[in-house]
Amino acid sequence: MDKEYVVLSVFIAVALILSIGTIFLYQLSINEVSLKLSQLSGKIDALQAKVSNYEYRLMNVEENLYNLSSNLTSTAILTIAQHNLTAPEAVYEKVKNSIVLIKSRIVLETLFGKTYTSAEGSGFVYSPDGYIITNYHVVENAESVQVFFPDRSIYTARIVGVDPYSDLAVLKVEAGEKILYPLVFSDSSKLKVGQPVIAVGNPFGLTATLTTGVISQLNRLLESPGGRGIPGVIQFDAAVNPGSSGGPLLDYSGKVIGVTTAIASTTGEFAGIGFAIPSNTVLRVVKSLIETGKYEHPWMGIGGIDVNMEIAQLMNLEKAYGLLVTAVAQGSPAEKAGLRAGTRIVTLSDGTRVTIGGDVIIGVDNIVVFGLTDLLSYIEEYKRPGDTITLKILRDRIEMYINLTLGAIS
């Protein structure tokens, strides 16, 4: 009986010990789980903070992308997104059907009679009813002109109007039911040096050639085939060569910012400097060419040279800036206004012969004139024949003002 009692007691004791141990271990497990949950909760909080930070950054990225995309047309953006294209690729897909090759049959009058030659250049569609923009020198003295489209269709073109002084021409093709795709223009007054650009044309007859580059400088003065300076010209470094003339210079949204017109080269081939007539000038001239067949430029009737340090010293001027009037055309607006040309011819250190002693134009309508480019750019952009301008001049080192009513030249 006592043995049974002892065994029972031992069994109960062991059971109690095991129960207490189990409870203790269970409590330890609960504590460990609680600790791990607490640690996990901390990590979750940290991850949530990081997610919030990334969400904020993503919002900024989306905003930047939106701002960037505002410079591209929806078509270009869609093309890039769908086909993983770069901007030049997207622009090319957008404009390629609007670029044309122009071939002209040129008539030249010689001592031995008429001779014939040919010229090639580029152009692009201006309107869906068949107006084409190109350079004047591409169709100068042309007896006939043909326009070649990328789909190999060919049309005989009529010359609607030309302007030798801005080197622009407008052609017209009767394309029937053919769908034409006019290019869209951008505001050239908003261009920046360093801005990326795309040139598309037909150099050496190689159709629809695309090159890229940047705007190297703005407001260059370029001599036109008519012998008059073209102000506000865009200088760029995208490769262009003979045959590229008349093609569009585009921004990265595919809009026209200029018309390629010339290169600076001693060999006749590209040397890193190209020039384009700015789009604002193109639009102004083309509108008049379509309506009247010509464009009347404001005209003063003077010849001049920018004042440099040497000229300033010879004329005892305090500052070396302004446009020295070296010649005044008889019967011109300048003569009627009383502008005076120089009377004394001198030879400068570089060998240039200059007539000094005339009026020096230093301002126009409260705008400072540092040289010929400033004066021409202002009257070409903002004035028309018949408008009156106020010139600020130096005459014998004395400041005075002269009113001049602009004439016309076309």
Q: How far is CA 307 from CA 107, 352, 369, in A?
A: 42, 13, 11
Sequence-distant (≥ 6) Cβ neighbours of residue 153 within 8 angstroms: 175, 178
The single residue of 122, 216, 245, 377 carrying the catalytic annotation is: 245
Which of 137, 216, 359, 377 is the catalytic position? 137
Give me the numbers of helices (H) and strands (E) for the chain, helices first please.
8, 22
- Distance between CA atoms of 406 and 385, rounded to whole angstroms? 5
Per DSSP bridges, beta strands 344-347 and 323-328 are unpaired
3-class state of residue 382 by DSSP = helix
The yes-or-no answer on residue 245 being catalytic is yes
Which residues, 6 or more positions from 396, have their beta carbon under 8 angstroms from its beta carbon? Answer: none
Give the active site residue among 98, 122, 166, 167: 167
Distances (CA, A) of 392 to 47, 111, 366: 70, 48, 8
Q: Is the dihedral of CA 250, 297, 409, 144 positive or negative?
A: positive
End-to-end CA distance of the chain: 140
Amino acid at the residue 29: S
CB 345 within 8 Å of CB 357: no
137 as an active site residue: the answer is: yes
Residues 164/181, Cβ–Cβ less than 8 Å: no
Residues marked as catalytic: 137, 167, 245
